[in-house]
Chains A and B, each alone.
Chain A
Amino acid sequence: MPQITIDGKQITAPEGVTILQVARENGIDIPTFCHHEALEPWGACRLCIVEVDEGGRTRLVTSCNFPVKEGLAVTTKNKSIIAIRKMIIELLLTRCPNAQAVRQMADKLGVTGTRFPIENEFCILCGMCVRVCKEIVGAQAISFASRGGNKTVASPFFNRSGECIGCGACVYVCPTQCITMNDVAEAADVYSEGTEQVGYARVMNNWRTRLPLKVCKSCGNPIAPEFQLQVLAKKAGLAPDALDLCQGCKE
């Protein structure tokens, strides 16, 4: 059980954890944007930067993925770190000036505006949608495309994703809520495949994907995307059409 200090506070940390985990366990606040406790650390937003002292050698590291070890001394805030976090959020504010989550973080970090010419994106490229789809859902329906300033998150070839099961995990996890999905009763013209039957469908707007919804055998109300139910049935070892009753009619 490594003994470490964070901002002078002595802490006994569990084995095999990161600085961020220990900090949060102990009520020490470190801002993050691309971190989610259910996902592997990503280390891209760089807000969680802290200074570590390893036996006299200091450096700045991301706390979300730096493993704690015996004798580590961590400083979560100093002049440099504050300046860096402010610049990072100023850069994000430049990219996404109208994203509420970004404005809230800017407020928190004491940044009121940006000195750079603003864009009007909403995606901060935190990657949580891609990561949740890969690590938790296992569909890997979306990915990063291009690189550098053109980097974006997209469905393959910016067309409909054949792997998307319409679970909405990406919608749920997105910090700026820029991923949307709607369930519609008549999806005739939306991302039409031509031969599919129209009717109830879930539309994943960002992924240009329309998933027909299965309707309850009994009451005719929509349950969930057909494809999703097929995938779940297969995972559970059931027949493909086994899940055909809505929650209400089951009971």
Chain B
Amino acid sequence: MKISTAADLERLKQEGHKQLHPDTVRIMVGTATCCLARGAGKVIKAIEREAAAQKFACTIVPVGCIGLCYQEPTVEVIQPGKPRIAYGPVTVDDVPEFVKALAATGVDKKRALFRSEQEYSLFAAEPYRYAKGAVSDEFKDITAYSDVPFYKKQVKICLRNAGTINPESIEEYIAMGGYAALAKAVTQMTPDQVIHEVTKSNLRGRGGGGFSTGKKWTECRKAPGGQRYVLCNVSEGDPGIGMHKSLLESDPHTVLEGLIIGGYAIGAAQGYIYISSGYPLGLKRLQKAIEQAEAYGLLGTNILGSGFNFSVTVKEGGGAYVCGESTALMAGLEGRIGEPRPKYIHTAVKGLWDSPSNLNNVETWANVPVIINKGADWFSGIGTGSSKGTKVIGISGSVNTPCLVEVPMGTPFKEIFNELGGGVPAKRKLKAFQTGGPSGGVLPARMLSLNLDYEEMGKAGTNLGSGGFIAIDNRACMVDIARFFTQFLIEESCGKCVPCREGVKRLLQLINNFTIGIGTEEHLTLIKELAFAMEKASLCDLGKTAPSVVQYAIKYFKDEFEAHMQGQCPAGVCKDLIFYSIESKVCTACGACIRACPVSAISGEPGSTPTLDMKKCIKCGACKEVCDVEAITT
């Protein structure tokens, strides 16, 4: 059944509504990759079993990322007429009790986290209210979402449907206002009007470039030539950053809708989505979304009767960080190795197969349907003077409440870290944080005073990058961090140009001098000199920003480099500079370290502090890891 008119879409929307707000209990289990890693798949099966066994009528729906990563596996429950309740963690072992409580009283107080009275909706004239009337007693003592920073601080544009809809149901996406923007664009607006709206909104590239999306679209539309392409970048190669994958796993249709609208605006009949290898779930959900859109005629020929034809192909990359760079990505799409080429002629003019190509990041595309529906003015009302809209942030690392959120641009990092991330765990101190990949460097804790803003971060000498938040505490050694990222870049360099290929190798050797305690001031000077050439002369941004991490580390953590020059690693990380010892005052003689040691370097009698033979010790760190009381130090 093809959707040919707005009326068709409205009909489907009503059907989707019934799915979203059924007459039975709707149990939603977060099933993004990280949720699955915490057992969410098994939890779903367990709930199905228990519900059947207890004869509890309910629909169990896999949803995307609910965002409460620190409480995974998380489950949200909507009962007709009652508030929506978030529960977590709900492990497989918890399920029988959980289902029993739901069946008996409608709520599992033990695991309840938050309640919400109404559905989060950007498009509905009147947001759907889960609970009719005043909050009943059984739910009163469950914290209201609207009282917590996790809810209050967020403005969800890209993540508006994440955790609410089944990402594999186009009907649920449509029920939340999905594809209305596409209908509006192709039936009521001209391509130029669409571009005008996006330009007016001041949407900027979310992949890290921060370039004006509207300007890019304009340049591509105006470029001479026939066939042109719109491309979506889901390479997300920065290590430790996974929010774009979560976005794709939670709401693939918002990306698709944005891409189709972009195709219409630019005059492209073909779109490509490049997803890096190793994300099977995102790939699967995206492919399913495309099939569904095709079945409904939202992709293909004469979309919504407008005469506009558009198809999308998903391509899995080969696994290369450098393919996040636009020309390398396009080389990959063409079936070649990911070697960048100069952009003296923009890819908007000569890109994929030398045709005009507009490449945007997946998060940038996800914003487009909302800009068209709500209008540019609404969008640019959020954020700061130069950085409009919101940013999806995956808060991880050394934080108490890691989570996935979307906050307005301009939000202070202090709030992101403290109020959303819950600050650093007890006994730890925040040392540094990272917002993107290696290119932005690792920033010292005091720079938490910065706000989430392209210009402000640029002025502070760094860049927002893909915009995550990884907290690094005092257990980390900044010299080792510099080494870690430089090692990463050596493996990811395409190897084409001399400054990057040869330079990163030498950079690593210089940094290693410090990790083994033979670093000198001359080495620091040489790093600076090498960095200059790499920054100025490398072919692409990978090489140009490769020295950033070590440069930032030297700038902001010079004391650690100086300590290493003296043969010391204050954080106790660099293998050659540390030796392990057991604090007898703290040791509880539990024997865990003796069992953990792979080379039997620790020995002892039960009840007394073990002894560590440093001659045998291979410094693998297993003992330190298993010690519950932190009696083992370096």
Contacts and interface: CB of A to CB of B under 8 A. Distances in A.
Interface stretch (A57-65, A163-171, A211-219): A57-65
Centre residue among B337, B494, B533, B539 by max chain A CB count within 10 A: B533
Contact of B344 (A44, A65, A144, A151): A65
A175 interface: no
A139 B194 CA distance: 48
Contacts of B491: 148
Contact of A149 (B495, B529, B532): B495
Interface in A117-168: 117, 124-125, 127, 144, 146-151
B538 A43 contact: no
B496 interface: yes
B490 A44 contact: no
B498 A65 contact: no
A223 interface: no
Interface string B29-57: 00000000000000000000000000000
B498 A88 contact: yes
Interface in B535-554: 536-539
A87 B530 contact: yes
Q: Which of B498, B504, B506, B539 has most chain A Cβ within 10 Å? A: B498
A60 B344 CA distance: 11
Contact of B537 (A49, A66, A125): A49
B501 interface: yes
Contact of A84 (B322, B341, B493, B537): B537
Given A46-B538, A84-B536, A87-B530, A148 B497 contact: no
Given A62-B342, A94-B502, A148-B490, A87 B529 contact: yes
A43 B493 contact: no
Contacts of A115: 526
Contacts of A117: 509
B506 A116 contact: yes
A125 B495 contact: yes
A178 interface: no
Given A84-B532, A148-B491, A67 B344 contact: yes
Contacts of A62: 342
Interface string A60-93: 1110011100000000000010011001100110
Interface string B344-387: 11000000000000000000000000000000000000000000
Contacts of B538: 46
Contacts of A46: 497-499, 537-539
A43 to B, nearest CB: 6
Nearest to A42: B496
Interface string A86-114: 01100110110000000000000000000
B492 interface: yes
Interface in B501-532: 501-506, 509, 526, 529-530, 532
A82 B509 CA distance: 24
A148 B495 contact: yes
Nearest to B337: A144
A61 B536 contact: no
Select the residue from A61, A87, A115, A124 with max chain B CB neighbours within 10 A: A87
Contact of B533 (A43, A88, A125, A150): A88
Interface in A20-57: 43-46, 49
A83 B337 CA distance: 31
A43 B495 contact: no
Nearest to B508: A149
B320 A92 contact: no
Given A43-B342, A43-B539, A46-B539, A91 B503 contact: yes
Interface centre among B320, B530, B538 (most CB of A within 10 A): B530
B344 A94 contact: no
Nearest to A115: B526
A149 B505 contact: yes
B50 to A, nearest CB: 50
Nearest to A80: B536
Contacts, number: 99
User: Would you call the interface of chain B mostly helix, strand, loop, or mixed?
Assistant: helix
Interface in B466-493: 490-493
A83 B342 contact: no
A149 B499 contact: no
A179 B504 CA distance: 26
Nearest to A47: B498
Nearest to B322: A147
A43 B540 CA distance: 11
Contacts of B530: 87
A147 B320 contact: yes
Nearest to A67: B344
A91 B490 contact: no
B539 A147 contact: no
B494 A148 contact: yes
B502 A151 contact: no
Contacts of B493: 147-149
A44 B496 contact: yes
A247 B539 CA distance: 47
Nearest to A43: B342
A147 to B, nearest CB: 5
A146 B505 CA distance: 15
A73 to B, nearest CB: 16
Interface string A214-241: 0000000000000000000000000000
A91 B495 contact: no
Nearest to B495: A151
B541 to A, nearest CB: 14
Contacts of B505: 149
Contact of B501 (A43, A67, A84, A149): A149
B322 to A, nearest CB: 8
B342 A61 contact: yes
Contacts of B509: 116-117
Given A88-B499, A91-B499, A43 B341 contact: yes
Contacts of B503: 87, 91
Interface string B53-80: 0000000000000000000000000000
Given A84-B532, A87-B533, A147-B320, A61 B490 contact: no
Nearest to B533: A87
A80 B506 CA distance: 20
A44 B539 contact: yes
Contacts of A66: 342, 344
A148 B492 CA distance: 6
Nearest to A126: B498
Given A46-B498, A46-B538, A80-B536, A149 B344 contact: no
Contacts of B320: 147
Given A91-B506, A116-B509, A146 B495 contact: yes
Interface of A: 43-46, 49, 60-62, 65-67, 80, 83-84, 87-88, 91-92, 94-95, 115-117, 124-125, 127, 144, 146-151
30 contacts: A43-B341, A43-B539, A44-B498, A44-B539, A45-B497, A46-B538, A60-B536, A80-B536, A84-B533, A84-B537, A88-B498, A91-B498, A91-B502, A94-B502, A95-B502, A116-B506, A124-B498, A125-B496, A127-B496, A146-B495, A147-B322, A147-B337, A148-B491, A148-B494, A148-B495, A148-B501, A149-B490, A149-B504, A150-B495, A151-B501
Please give me the 7 A-B residue pairs with the lowest Cβ-Cβ distance, nearest first: A151-B495, A87-B533, A91-B502, A148-B493, A46-B537, A147-B495, A148-B495
Given A65-B344, A84-B532, A91-B499, 4 more contacts: A87-B532, A91-B502, A117-B509, A146-B495
